[in-house]
Amino acid sequence: MSLLNTFFTKNIYSTTRRILVLTMRPSSTESSENNAPIEMENPYKKERRQCILCQLNITPDYKNYRLLSQFQSPYTGRIYGRHITGLCKNKQALVEAEIKKAQNCAYMPYYYKDKTFLKDPKLFDPQNPIRSHRF
Amino acid sequence: MPAYELALLLRAMPKQELKSTLKRVSHAIFNRGGIIRNIENLGFRAMPYKTSAHGLVHREANYFVFKIDTATQAVADLKEEYSRDVDIIRQRVFKVQNDCDHSCTLEEEMLPPAYREEVQKMIEVGKTQVNRFTYKFKYNSGLDYYPFQK
Ligand SMILES: [Zn+2]
């Protein structure tokens, strides 16, 4: 009785397996034509980085000394370098030129930052430069 | 006529005097065939550093910006006239630069050095020059003595 039982189950198993294979085969051959690689752009490509002034489309101006003072050290009044501000070369040169103009016109101090601007939002962290310090 | 910006610092004075000073300043421009496009008043405030002008020390000033169009030769003339004006503490003339469209190059600048264009150029220049560290004097150079100290 037990032998008959095992034979029966085995038979069922083999038949179901055959059915499964039969149903799978035609579908796999059909999809191989649709599975051809699709031409598309690299979906993992990162977005082009921009500096904050280019992003917001701001041209630094010597009259806007509040903006310029954000690129100045609050302790010494010196202009932060490109490795700290994270600006592109063009904008950094513009910012530096405009700060010098503003200082020369007595809009901005040379050796300190205007105390009314000390609590302005920080555009960057001098302690974490994008390129390491020389010091 | 090129566009200029005239940044003026006027000494602290009552409103009536300020008015006459501004009139004097603008008439100097008109007399030389210039035109004023705009006058901006940036207010009366303390200067970031004290300035001495015409024998007086000034700590506060009236800030004005004139946007003018004038002949290039007239600018030096104007500067000379304003330098004699006792009400003007400081005057600076800047040429107005038109906005130039340029794309941000931050992405290229953040690449590792070997991929940056300027570094590649530097390497090319370096290849054309004699490397002082690996250069070796050749004895068959025509000289019958070694020119350097051994
Ligand atoms: Zn940029």
For chain A, which domains are there?
60-117 (4.10.640.10)
Residue B132, min C-alpha distance to chain A (Å) = 26
Residue type, B104: C
The predicted pLDDT at position A25 comes to 53
Spans of chain B, pLDDT less than 50: none
Query: Distance between CA atoms of A39 and A127, rounded to whole angstroms?
Result: 45
Find the closest chain A residue to B107 by CA distance: A49
The predicted pLDDT at position A132 comes to 83
The predicted pLDDT at position A5 comes to 53
Query: Distance between CA atoms of A70 and A80, rounded to whole angstroms?
Result: 9
Residue A24, min C-alpha distance to chain B (Å) = 50
B77-116 exposure pattern, b = at least 16 Cβ within 10 A, e = fewer? ebeebbeebebbbbbbbbeeeeeeeeebbbeebeeeeeee
The length of chain B in residues reads 150
The predicted pLDDT at position B144 comes to 78
Specify whether domain B3-95 bears CATH 3.40.50.920.
no
Residue type, B149: Q
Q: Are B6 and B93 in contact (CB under 8 A)?
A: yes
- Where residue A13 falls among pLDDT bands split at 50, 70, 90? low
**pLDDT above 90 as % of chain A:** 56
The predicted pLDDT at position A32 comes to 65
Closest partner CB to B107 (pick from A49, A90, A114): A49
B104 part of contact set with chain A, CB < 8 Å: yes
3-state secondary structure of B47: strand
- Where residue A1 falls among pLDDT bands split at 50, 70, 90? very low
Helical spans, DSSP H, in A42-131: 52-55, 65-68, 82-85, 89-104
Find the closest chain B residue to A48 by CA distance: B107
A130 part of contact set with chain B, CB < 8 Å: yes
The predicted pLDDT at position A134 comes to 74
- Per residue in A42-86, pLDDT (tens digit) is 999 989 999 999 999 999 999 999 999 999 999 999 999 999 999
Q: Is pLDDT above 50 for A124?
A: yes
Angle between helices B72-84 and B15-31 (to 10 degrees): 150
CB contact (8 A) between residue B105 and residue A104: no
- Per residue in B71-113, pLDDT (tens digit) is 999 999 999 999 999 999 999 999 988 777 778 889 889 999 9
- Reported for A115-124, long-range contacts at CB under 8 A and 24+ positions apart, including other chains, are A117/A66, A117/A69, A117/A70, A118/A74, A120/A66, A120/A69, A120/A70, A121/A70, A122/A70, A123/A52, A123/A70, A123/A71, A123/A85, A124/A80, A124/A84, A124/A85, A124/A86
- The residue ranges of every structural domain in chain B are 3-95
The predicted pLDDT at position B13 comes to 93
Q: Which two tokens stand for residue A24?
A: 């799978």
The predicted pLDDT at position B99 comes to 72
Q: Which two tokens stand for residue B97?
A: 């630069």
Query: Distance between CA atoms of B133 and B6, rounded to whole angstroms?
Result: 55
What ipTM does this complex have?
A: 0.82
Q: Give the strand order in the sheet containing B56-69.
A: B35-53, B56-69, B3-11, B88-95
Q: Which two tokens stand for residue B29?
A: 């421009």
Sorted by sequence, the CB contacts under 8 Å of residue A1 that are 6+ apart come out as none
